[in-house]
Each structure stands twice: as structure tokens, then as C-alpha cells.
Amino acid sequence: IGEIRRYLRDNNPIRVSRSLRDVAYKALQVRDNLVGRFSREPTVNEIAEELKIPREEVVFALDAIQDPVSLFDPIYQ
Amino acid sequence: MKHNYFTLTIPALKENVGLVRVLVASFAAQKDLTLPELDDIKVAVSEAVTNSIIHGYGNNPGEIIIKGYFADEGLYIEVIDFGKGIDREKIREKAVLDPEEEHPGLGFIFMQSLMDRVEIIPGERGTKVILFKRILADRTA
Amino acid sequence: MKHNYFTLTIPALKENVGLVRVLVASFAAQKDLTLPELDDIKVAVSEAVTNSIIHGYGNNPGEIIIKGYFADEGLYIEVIDFGKGIDREKIREKAVLDPEEEHPGLGFIFMQSLMDRVEIIPGERGTKVILFKRILADRTA
Ligand SMILES: Nc1ncnc2c1ncn2[C@@H]1O[C@H](COP(=O)(O)OP(=O)(O)O)[C@@H](O)[C@H]1O
Ligand SMILES: Nc1ncnc2c1ncn2[C@@H]1O[C@H](COP(=O)(O)OP(=O)(O)O)[C@@H](O)[C@H]1O
Ligand SMILES: [Mg+2]
Ligand SMILES: [Mg+2]
């Protein structure tokens, strides 16, 4: 698992910095709040509006904390 | 919104899969999409691009073109390479798309389950994969 | 990392400025950049793309090409449009780049202060703006 974690981290398109991570986790938090409020999955635009940042930045931040590799790629090549 | 599209050309490098994912997700987000929907699209596109790098070019140098556009009430993403091409026999037998097959490629199975339509088009040289995701006109209604 | 680059073609629409920003940021982030450096690059590119939309095409339809590549120990971003073109006289007089000018365009002043080099190249039709940001080889050294 440690190996895989390191692989994922090393292959992240951006070295996930603190502030980027903060944006991502705030976005996920807002998403949870909005699910409660709307009783449905909120759209990215709704999350971005709530955070008052451009939607692309939400996308960018969330991608940075995500598993970046193909799920079915052999991890060890 | 006016008619929008993009065309991206990149070398077939693993580190560009993330680049494509972010571009496609940002483009898709111009429509009203949820995070799970965006994730579906991102994973499907990653699989197609990874295939071009690994299978199309066998990890050798080459170029990949990714196109995106909105049409037919949904999002189209095309992933095009000029590599060794996908076996026509394989496609005809639907081996690559059939979950019942003995050694099915999981990538295509995944693309199919995440998107509303997947088309594999062998080119004169290389492969074009067309992914389509329907987008609900108004989810708040 | 092997030699990497991208070419992106998009219609000149305001909503695509964000798209370009994240693509350029994802590309630049393949090198060891800090977030403030990434922000500098994003702002500079936004200014150039916005200029192409507003000044180049006067908010009318048109295409913009954005190219990125690593060379000369840094990152190059080119923003190309085929619009009405930038006044050659203006460039020669350096009016657009001179902060001492009476009504300087703030966009170019910005680009100049955020990047290490800015070049404005009038094309036969339209404008090419080349932005260069030096990237330290190893900042931990
Ligand atoms: N771009 C491509 N060029 C050539 N062959 C391809 C391409 N994409 C897929 N293939 C072929 O189709 C098969 C199935 O692909 P996929 O479902 O993604 O499974 P996997 O990548 O795990 O083998 C691959 O094994 C390969 O033979
Ligand atoms: N892509 C372009 N095409 C045509 N003219 C341009 C372009 N970019 C800049 N210009 C001209 O250069 C001037 C200065 O640009 P800029 O410094 O960004 O200031 P601003 O956009 O605030 O006017 C603009 O007012 C415009 O006349
Ligand atoms: Mg695959
Ligand atoms: Mg300007």
C-alpha cells in the first residue's frame, strides 16, 4: 500500500500543496452541505458559487487530491 | 452558451493523462454537471488516453489528439492516436466490449459503463475512440 | 521528463479563459513550481487570452491557439489569434509595454511584471504573444 501511495503521489500532476488541498476539502464539505440542502447531488457550478471561486479552480483542486492513475493500469510496470 | 469545443494535441506521455483529465473536466463543467458525473467522464477519458499511450504507441513517442464538443444534448470526447491501431477482428467480435469474454479489456468495459455511448473507430493509421455522455438539460426542475 | 508540449485550439469565448488557466497550470505544474509562481503564469495567460477575445476579435467569433512547451530552462506559453491585429506603431513606441505611458494597457504591464519575458509578434493576420517564465532547475539545492 505504501508503494502504491508513493506511486500515486509521485504521479500527481501537481504537487498537492496545502492551500490547494484546502480548496479541495472545502469543496467536498460544501458538496455535502448542498446535498443536505437540495436533497440531490449539487452541480460543480453550485459548489463553485458557494465557494466564490471559478468552477475550473474547483475542478483543478479536486483533481489534485485524486488518484491520478488509470484504475486498471498495472501499478508496477 | 454559444457553441463550444476544444482540440488538444499532446505527446503520448503518461504525465499528460492528468492534463487531459483536468481539461476535459473543466470543459464538461461548463454544463451543469455533478462531481460524480465529472468523475465518470474523467475516468473514461483517462482509460482511452492511457490505451493510446500503452497500446497505440507501445509507450513509444507519438501524438494524441483530444477533441471535445457539446452536441446531441450531451458531451462528446474524441481520443485519437496514430499508433499501431486496434485489431479490427477484435472490435467486430466485440471482444473488447463484451464483459462475458474470457480476457476482456477492463478499460473499454469501464468506459461503456461510465458513458452513454462508446465507439471505436479504426483509422487508416491508429484509432479513434468516441465517448458520449448525455447531459440533463435542467436538473433543478 | 521527456520533452513535453501542448497545443490547444478553442473558440474565442470568455468562458474558455478558465479552461486555458487550468490547462496551463496543470502543464506548468509538471515542473517544480510553487503555487504563487503558478498563479503568476495563470494571470499572465488570462490577460493574453482575454486580449485576443476582446481586442483581437472584438468579442466576435474567432479561434485562439495556445501553445506551451519547456525550453531555455523555462516555460513558454504562446497565445495566438487571427483577429484585427495589434497596432504596430503602438508596439514600436513601446506604448503597450511602458508603464510611464499616459494610458498604458494594464494587461501587458501585468504580463511583464509576472513573467520573465513578453514578446508581441504581429502576424500577417492577428497577433502572437509569447510569454516566458524561467524555472529554477533545483530550488532545493
Ligand atoms: N488506442 C489503441 N490502440 C491499439 N490498441 C488498443 C487501443 N486501445 C485499446 N486497444 C486494444 O484493446 C484492448 C482492450 O483495451 P482495454 O479494454 O482498455 O483493456 P486493457 O488496456 O486493460 O488491455 C487492449 O488490450 C488493446 O489490445
Ligand atoms: N490580441 C490583440 N489583438 C489586438 N490588439 C491587442 C491585442 N492585445 C492587446 N491589444 C491592444 O493593446 C492594448 C493594450 O493591451 P492591455 O495592456 O492588455 O490593456 P487593455 O486590455 O486593458 O486595453 C489594447 O488596448 C489593444 O489595443
Ligand atoms: Mg486500457
Ligand atoms: Mg488587456
Give the environment of ion ligand 4: residues with CB less than 5 A. C 51, 107
Q: Quote the crossing angle between the two packed helices B35-51 and A44-51, to the nearest 10°.
A: 120
In a domain, B139, yes or no: no
B/e letters for A16-40, b = 16+ CB within 10 Å, e = fewer, are: beeebeebbebbbebbeebeeeeee
B17 touches chain A (CB under 8 A): yes
Asked if the model's pLDDT at residue B18 lies above 70, the reply is yes
**Is any atom of ligand 1 closer than 6 Å to the C-beta of B51?**
yes
Put simply, the answer to whether B139 touches A45 (Cβ < 8 Å) is no
CB under 6 Å to ligand 2: residues?
C 47, 51-52, 55-56, 81, 83-86, 96, 105-108, 127
Put simply, the answer to whether A20 touches C18 (Cβ < 8 Å) is no
Which pLDDT band holds residue A1 (cuts at 50, 70, 90)? very low
C-alpha span between B46 and A34 (Å, rounded): 28
Range of the domain at B21: 5-134
pTM metric for this prediction: 0.89
Put simply, the answer to whether B107 touches A72 (Cβ < 8 Å) is yes
- Total number of domains constituting chain B: 1
Q: Which chains touch C (3 or more CB pairs under 8 A)?
A: A, B
Q: Residue B93's domain is classified under what CATH number?
A: 3.30.565.10
pLDDT at A35: 96
In a domain, C141, yes or no: no
Please report the beta strands in B39-126, taking only residues with DSSP state E, as ranges in sequence order. Answer: 63-71, 74-81, 117-122
Average pLDDT on B88-100 reads 62
Average pLDDT on C42-60 reads 96
In a domain, C139, yes or no: no
In a domain, B141, yes or no: no
Q: What is the ipTM of this complex?
A: 0.86
pLDDT at A43: 95
Instruction: Calculate how far, in angstroms, residue C108's C-alpha sits from the geometric centre of ligand 4.
Output: 7
Cell reading at A44: 460543480
Residues A40-70 have pLDDT tens digits of: 999 999 999 999 999 999 999 998 887 554 4
Which pLDDT band holds residue C93 (cuts at 50, 70, 90)? low
In a domain, C140, yes or no: no
Residues B70-85 have pLDDT tens digits of: 998 999 999 999 999 9
B to C CB pairs, distance under 8 Å = 67
Helix ranges (DSSP H) in chain C:
17-28, 35-51, 88-92, 106-114
